[in-house]
């Protein structure tokens, strides 16, 4: 009985691992801004964090867009891949 419970808990943790490990863009930005804030304290830190978190990301270069779209297209072939890449590259160009 005890082994069954342990196995069920372990399976549950392993199944949810990728979801728990995924970091959202907002979390990533918060982490970067916190690191960049360094030793700032009080109002200075608050102002820095506000500016940092509200900053727009730099536009991706065409090479970066192609790399990201290629990664997302993994497993697609032929016309499906061609259509996906066209859509992905045009959507990312406007970002």
- Interval 29-81: pLDDT, tens: 889 899 999 999 999 999 999 999 888 777 778 888 899 899 999 999 999 99
Q: State residue 18's pLDDT score.
A: 47
Is the distance from CB of 89 to CB of 69 less than 8 angstroms?
yes
Helices (H), 1-95: 2-21, 25-37, 42-54, 62-72, 78-93
pLDDT of residue 55: 85
Mean of pLDDT values over 5-31: 64
Average pLDDT (68-95) is 86
Q: Is 14 left (phi over 0), alpha (psi -120 to 50) or beta?
A: alpha
């Amino acid at each position: 009985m005890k082994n069954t419970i342990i196995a069920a808990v372990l399976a549950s943790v392993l199944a949810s691992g990728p979801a728990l490990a995924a970091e959202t863009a907002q979390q990533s930005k918060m982490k970067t801004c916190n690191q960049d804030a360094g030793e700032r304290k009080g109002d200075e830190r608050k102002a820095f964090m506000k500016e940092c978190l509200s900053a727009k990301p730099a536009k991706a270069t065409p090479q970066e867009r192609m790399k990201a779209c290629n990664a997302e297209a993994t497993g697609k072939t032929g016309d499906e891949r061609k259509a996906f890449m066209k859509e992905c590259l045009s959507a990312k160009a406007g970002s």
